[in-house]
Amino acid sequence: ARYRGSSRVLYEAAKMDGASPWRQFTSVTWPGLRPTMVFVLVTITIAALGLFVQVDVMTQGGPTGSTSTIVYHAVRKGYQQQEIGYAAAISLIFFVAVLIIALIQRRLTRDKD
């Protein structure tokens, strides 16, 4: 199991081993930020897939649907065209796709312990 002590102890051990500041960054600081980086990656991906407001305000999905997103399409179908069942199906498929992408990202970025 990997030792997850205080960062001060890790930096002190790296200095005792003769690690340069760059080596301390690459061997202590960067691996310590890994959980945060994985969280940010998954969160940004989910936010990018859920893009709606920018498309609605700037282009309304046009020209000829070239800037439409899945979320924008689902909202347009559900609210403007009153196709509630179709919009719900799109939303469910979107949820499953985002879940699968998030799980794949999580699996690819997990610790190899």
Per-residue model confidence as pLDDT tens digits over 32-56: 888 888 888 888 888 888 888 888 8
Tokens for 8, please give them.
């001060």
Q: What angle (nearest 5°) sits at the alpha carbon of residue 32, between those of residues 26 and 37?
A: 95
Q: At 113, is the pLDDT very low, low, confident or very high (cuts 50, 70, 90)? A: low
> Residue 23 in contact with residue 5, Cβ under 8 Å?
no
Integer Cα distance of 27 and 82 in angstroms: 56
Instruction: Based on the fold, state whether residues 52 and 82 are members of the same structural domain.
Output: yes
Domain of 27, in residue numbers: 1-32
User: Domain total for the chain?
Assistant: 2
Q: Distance of CA 50 to CAs 18, 41, 93, 94, Å? A: 47, 14, 13, 9
Asked if residue 113 is part of any domain, the answer here is: no
Do 39 and 84 have their domain in common? Answer: yes
Q: Does 41 lie in the same domain as 13?
A: no
pLDDT digits (tens, 9 = 90+) for 79-103: 889 999 999 999 999 999 888 988 8
Within a domain: 76: yes
Model pTM?
0.63
- Rounded to the nearest 10°, the torsion over CA 71, 94, 84, 67 is 30
Residue 17 lies in a domain: yes
Residue (of 54, 50, 32, 52) closest to 42 by Cα position:
50
